[in-house]
Amino acid sequence: MNVCIPIVKDHGLDSRISPHFSAAPRFLVVDPQSRSFRVLSNDRAGQRGGGREVVSALLAEHIDALVVGGIGAGAVGHLARAGVRLYGASSRSVTEVLEELRRGTLPPLAADGPLVHGHGDVDGGGPLGRHRHGRGAG
């Protein structure tokens, strides 16, 4: 399983979660079992309306789940239709999220929940760039 987590800075599994999906400068894609991961840069970070291209690029990375601090309703719809499981998270580290996922306590993201924003977070363009691969400790 590949879990995607928007992050602020690349500190591997100690990275902090970005508060908003399409504005995240990077995405960490991790296999929770092996803790191996790769980091992708978001060329659309900080640009209004980049959600659609970010979603398309992440789907090409074969993600199974996404953990977010906040996300636009349009992006939620595209990800849900693609079968990606969505989870909500407050600002914390990737390691803490993986532990919650392991315990089964990571809350599913409700399409009308407080972390979903009503704006049109689904248009724009730009690919994700690759940064590095790693293997987490533990």
| pTM of the complete model | 0.80
DSSP string, 88-132: E--S-BHHHHHHHHHHT-SPBPPTTSTTEE-S-TT----PEEEEE
The 10s digit of each residue's pLDDT in 28-45 is 999 999 999 999 999 877
Residue ranges of domains in the chain, CATH in brackets:
3-135 (3.30.420.130)
The 10s digit of each residue's pLDDT in 63-85 is 999 999 888 888 888 898 999 99
Structure tokens at 118: 């009503």
